[in-house]
Structure 1
Amino acid sequence: MGCRLSELILDCRDPELLAGFWCAVLGYTVLDREEGGVEIGPPEGFGGIAPTIIFSPTREPKRGRLRLHWDVSPTDRDQDAELERLLELGATRADVGQTGEESWFVLADPEGNEFCLLRTRIRPARP
């Protein structure tokens, strides 16, 4: 293997807001704060199985759909229960042209960044 994803960087208007949201969604913790940005990741920190996420501050608003989006899968509950949990955390339903027949839900985080909640339950990413 040549490379592995180690970090994902997302420009956003409110790094603290998104860090809190995504920590709750993924079970991550805040690993670092630097120059207005916030890095979150699994409790074991950088370099583990799952990549860390850096929320980097920008003044520019989001324009249109993201060219890259995240898919998340439930780990300890079914899709319907996870959907309710994500909505309670501040996710909103998003319409990107889906038919309604999909096996996933399209959602948006508090800044409108789209992500999908898949049906398949997977094991947590822990070593």
Structure 2
Amino acid sequence: MTVRWESVVVDCRDPRAQAAWWGETLGWPVVYDEEDEAGIAPPFAAEHARDTPPIERWPEMTFVPVPDGKTIKNRLHIDLAPGIDDSQEAEVAALVARGARLADVGQGDDVTWVVLEDPEGNEFCVLSPRV
């Protein structure tokens, strides 16, 4: 038996707002927006779904409502990486301008990544530029 990675599920207070924020961040469209959840997926996902074997499909991000706010550091987080010719500093500045906040999770000053929080406090990292 083989399973595939279908989705990263993010607990949040406002699924629509989180889906919109992460969708803009990743350049992914909102692919569903229901009363109890919203989701985003890579822009090519729907176009190539029929031609791509299920095990090779990209996971979506699904945002579901929870009544309480975030209280502790995430045990799982997302890493974002600028392109090889792009600037980590510029990407971080753009994310902060859109509502992200710098976060200190004990990473120290000697790391090559920047830890941020999304508008609801979920930590994620912006790595150094990558291919």
Q: Same fold (TM over 0.5)?
A: yes
2:86/2:129 contact within 8 Å kept = no
Distance 2:113 2:103 in 1: 12
- More helix by proportion, 1 or 2? 2
- Counterpart secondary structure, 2:44: coil
Distance 1:44 1:36 in 2: 25
Match of 1:57 among 57, 60, 65: 65
How far the C-alpha of 1:49 sits from its partner, in A, is 4.4
Deviations 1:35-72, CA, capped at 9 Å, x for gaps: 33101111123656431100001112212001111111
Match of 1:105 among 110, 114, 117: 114
- TM-score, normalized by length of structure 2? 0.83
Distance 1:27 1:121 in 2: 17
1:83 aligns with 2:56: no
Q: CA RMSD in A?
A: 1.9
Q: Structure 2: where are the runs of 5+ without partners?
A: 50-55
- Counterpart secondary structure, 2:120: coil
Runs of at least 4 residues off by over 4 Å: 46-49
After the TM superposition, which of the residue ranges 109-118 and 55-64 deviates more from structure 2?
55-64
How far the C-alpha of 1:121 sits from its partner, in A, is 2.3
- Counterpart secondary structure, 2:116: strand
Q: How many residues align?
A: 122
Alignment of 1:1-127 (within 5 A): 2-45=2-45, 49-75=57-83, 77-122=86-131
How far the C-alpha of 1:5 sits from its partner, in A, is 2.1
Distance 1:41 1:101 in 2: 34
Aligned-pair identity in percent equals: 41
1:78/1:121 contact within 8 Å kept = no
Q: Structure 1: where are the runs of 5+ without partners?
A: 123-127
